Structure formats: structure tokens, C-alpha cells
Amino acid sequence: MRQQKAKLSSHLSLGMITSRSMLLKQGFTSHSIDNHLKSGALEKIVKGIYMRQESRLSWQGVVSPLPNMINAPVTVGGLTALELQGFAQYLSLSTKRKVHLYSPSPCPAWLKSVFNQIDDAELHWHRTARLWVNGWPENPMINEQIWQEYMMISVSASEQAVFEILALLPNEISFEHAEQLIQGLTQLSPKKLVLLLNSCHSVKVKRLFFWLADRFDYPWCRRLDVNDYDLGSGKRVIAKAGKLDRRYGITVPQEFYRENAGG
């Protein structure tokens, strides 16, 4: 039994969750899994999802193993990524951290039940099919790996997080908030932005990105040529009852409208 417990400890890090199917893939038998549950070495969180009994359930321990558990890319992105990278001054304060997760796959049915047991975190799952060609940015090097609570987590680079945020505008994030975020991102990488612009097939997001970039004179803005990218045709109503920005063919709130935009 001691040998089995040592095997469990070597395969399942403290604080991380796992599933019955993952344990079976790692060489555990159904009988040994049941014995670990009976002995208390494993604790059931929801049906089929477990963690070591001495662990504390946290959003980091849920997110870190998630890509392997669902066999699909998952990153902490959008507003949460910027918060983890030090841009929290622009985010709303709350008793619960909103954990924005991005993936081409649907949210696993059990994940919401697990997050409901975490007191300080709230799950927000976003499908990426409408944002990226093939459902995911083509270059995986854009994402970053960071340590959180002694666990490695995949996080969208700040450049990618901008695109993810703009996809939520205006229903889940305001024009004002988006502008504040862009205003604080003075050191974006033009090389990463080019990769993302080429991977993005959302006309709305690309037009919003260039519209916002035009409002600032950062070095990274000057390294991008809007004519290199397909921004589609026709008008896009983004701000209802807004004014049409003629250069990018999008409606924006009147307070953001500039008469000379687009010439």
C-alpha cells in the first residue's frame, strides 16, 4: 500500500486535479483507484475527478492539468492574462477572480461543478473558433508558461490577450475599458502582433485593433501596416446608436468618434 501511495504522489502533484481516465492512462487500475479513494489518499471532487486528500482546491490546480485532461489547448487568456502579467490596475475589483479560459473545445461538463467549489474564482469559458483560423493561433510560441502556486500554467501573451478581449466588445467589455487596456500596453511585440493578425479571421477584432492602435503613437503601432491584412468589406455595427468610423467601417460610441478619422 505504501508503494501504491508513493506511485500516486509521483504521478499526481499536490494541489492538482486528475480524472479516472488520466489515472488509468498512467498505469493505475480501477481497483487501485478505488482503494485510494477508500483509504483517503484520493478525494473525489465530482464524479470521476479527484485530487490528493491533503491538497487544497484552487483554480490554478484545476487549470494546470486541464489541457492534458481534455486533450485540447487551454490557456488563461483575456483579462485574466493581463491581470497575471501586471495590468490589474485596469481591472474591476471583485471578491472572486474571473478566470477567463480560452480553448477550441467545448467546456467539459464537470468543470463548472469543480469551479463552484472554489470560493475565490469564477469560471468564464470562451470558444475560439470565431477568432482564430483553425480555432487556435498558428504559432504556439505566442503563449507563455508562468508559475502560479508552484504550478505551470499556459497564459496568453499580452498581445494575444488583446485580441481575446476585443472579441468580447461591446457586450462583455466596454470601449472605455478596452482603450484603457491598450493605453497601458506600451511594449507589445510587433512580431507577435503580425503572427496574430495573420491567424485572426475575425474582421470585427482586426478592425477594432487597428482603430484602437490609431489612437496611440507607440513604436509597435508604427511597425504595422493595415494594408497588409484583410479587413473584409462592408460596415460593422459594434456600438449601437454609435457613429461610423469611415476608415475602418465600424460604429463607435459618439464620445470616441473623431471627425478626421479615415479622412
User: Which pLDDT score is estimated for 165?
Assistant: 96
Q: Please name the amino acid found at residue 89.
A: Q
Domain boundaries, the chain: 2-52, 59-232
Nearest to 200 by CA among 143, 136, 106: 136
Q: What's the rounded Cα separation, in Å, for the pair 90 and 174?
A: 12
User: Which pLDDT score is estimated for 146?
Assistant: 80
Q: Find out whether 175 and 252 touch, Cβ atoms under 8 Å.
A: yes
User: Which pLDDT score is estimated for 263?
Assistant: 39
Q: What's the rounded Cα separation, in Å, for the pair 102 and 64?
A: 13
- The SS3 of residue 212 is helix
Q: Taking the chain (263 residues) in consecutive chunks of 10 residues, what is each chunk's mean pLDDT?
A: 78 94 94 94 96 93 96 94 78 76 97 96 96 84 73 92 96 92 90 94 97 90 94 94 94 84 46
User: Which pLDDT score is estimated for 119?
Assistant: 93
